[in-house]
Amino acid sequence: MVSAINILTSRHMSFPLAARLCVRSLLRMASPEVVQRLEQRARQADEAINILKTQIQMLKQHAVTAEEQRLKKENEQLRQDINELKVKLTLAEIQNGVQQVYLPVRTATTDAPDAPAAAAAPTPAEPKPEQKQAQKGGKSDKAAGKGDKKEKKGGEKKKGGPPQEDKPVDVSRLDLRIGRILSVQKHPDADTLYVEEIDVGEEVPRTVVSGLVKHVPMEEMQDRIVIAMCNLKPAKMRGITSQAMVMCASSPEKVELLDPPAGSQPGERVTCEGYPGEPDPVLQPKKKVWETVQPDLLVTADKVATYKGAPFTVAGKGVCTSKTMSNVGIK
């Protein structure tokens, strides 16, 4: 610094030249500090760039993770929707009498190779002439015997009542009984199904699968007195065999259980006046009895369950009703 001042105050040197030399001297003196500052700023810039890169990478990962979670959630919802639709379809098919066919599980026995074909049976020896004659005589005797049997059959009367085909197709063909729900739980493989154990007056309770999760809370199902149709053909629903159907008042918007009259006991039959027949042991889907009867099962404006206007009745107890629904069907 002193040398720079001396240069500026020198009498023998012009001012412009002295100024240039002063500036150069100052630059030489300041250059280490400038270099340090530049290096420091370069390091700071590198650190800032690395921080920005890290933040960008984190944002990308977060965006990918959020999108992945969203897609997983959508897939899970679609799977649940598909399962619910399958259950509804199965219930509708069972209620309409469509027989459920389940594919067998492949086992070691199924995969085993076919057994070798059996050896051809030996060809019988040619009978002798006298044997042929005897055989002809035997055939004629058998033909005569058949004629006698036909005559006997024609003369005999069939025992028992009228055949099932001749019975009228009405509500008496349905085995409607009072039941008590002993236990209820969610189906392990279907979110919309309950699995109930129902006492219908038999030694062993019946297992019943019902699609009522969205309509009736579980606590209202427990120990509930209900009406069960007990002669539907048993069918598997998501791996569990259902042995009956709980009768409900039903509309597209709402479903609720039918209420038997007070004092009803498990096993008591529900009948309709004017239809005194006996129920079928099992409703055969091909006969379409349920499909024929169901459209005439209605809840009246007075909330009474009926068949063609005849109330569902428990002998000595009263009629069956719906708690809140009227002018709707029964399923």
- pLDDT at residue 37, as a whole number: 79
Residue 301's DSSP bridge partners are none
What tens digit of pLDDT does each residue of 295-308 get? Answer: 999 999 999 999 99
Beta carbons of 227 and 312 less than 8 angstroms apart: yes
Average pLDDT for the chain: 78
> How far is residue 29's CA from residue 138's CA, in Å, rounded to a whole number?
141
What tens digit of pLDDT does each residue of 145-187 get? Answer: 454 544 444 444 444 445 556 788 999 999 999 999 999 999 9
- pLDDT at residue 19, as a whole number: 63
Q: What angle do CA 230, 185, 282 make, to 5 degrees?
A: 15
Residue 134 has pLDDT above 70, yes or no: no
- Taking alpha carbons only, the member of 266, 265, 308, 288 closest to residue 171 is 308
Average pLDDT of span 106-116: 42
Residue 224 has pLDDT above 80, yes or no: yes
- pLDDT at residue 3, as a whole number: 53
> How far is residue 280's CA from residue 173's CA, in Å, rounded to a whole number?
5
Confidence of residue 256 (pLDDT cuts 50, 70, 90): very high
Beta carbons of 299 and 227 less than 8 angstroms apart: no
Residue 298's DSSP bridge partners are 306, 329
Task: Flag the least confident range among 46-60, 101-115, 127-141, 215-229.
Answer: 101-115
pTM of the predicted model as reported, rounded to 2 decimal places: 0.53
